[in-house]
Amino acid sequence: FSKLGTGAGSIFGKGVYFRADPESVKIYGSVVKEYYLNLLNPFIYIAADTDTEARHNVNQFINVLKANNFKVTSSLRQLLYDDVLENAGGLDTMIELTCGVENATNYFKKCGYDGIVNLDVLDFVAYEPNQIKLRQNKQPTMAASTAA
């Protein structure tokens, strides 16, 4: 966890990234391990199969921006809606178009989120080491020293 929070390779901000499908992570290395994640209040991005779901995602993200005093104009709101609705854009695109990857984690944390759950592709992001436990650890605790 020496690189935790450095943002290396991130698209949703700084944190540790996980994916539900073990096969899909093999592109990052041959050693795949299972972990428990303790995400108590994650920002949840749902699969946007309908206009209603897409608008929910955009509105929820706009609330994060506003809580961080980011000026959300009507043209920006429309740009985000259009990107998600017409171009199959996702959370990563909304972050790029607005606050930027370098600020995203702080924006989400300021709103009380402790990570991200992207239900569109089953990605998970944890912000702190004490949220992550190796599955082989039979007695996990909340202590950061036992994170792996």
Enclosing H/E stretch for 54: helix 51-67
Low-confidence residues of the chain, pLDDT below 50? 1-2, 4-5, 145-148
Q: What is the pLDDT of residue 88?
A: 76
Beta strands in the chain (DSSP E): 16-19, 35-37, 43-45, 115-118, 123-126, 132-134
Residue 116 pairs with which residues in a beta bridge? 43, 125
Q: What is the pLDDT of residue 76?
A: 95
Q: What is the pLDDT of residue 1?
A: 44
Q: What is the pLDDT of residue 42?
A: 97
Q: What is the pLDDT of residue 139?
A: 67
Task: Please report, for residues 27, 51, 57, 118, the alpha-carbon distance to residue 107 in angstroms, rounded to integers and kept in the order given.
Answer: 29, 25, 16, 17
Half-sphere exposure in the Cβ direction for 131 (13 Å, CA): 20
Cα separation of 35 and 19, whole Å? 10
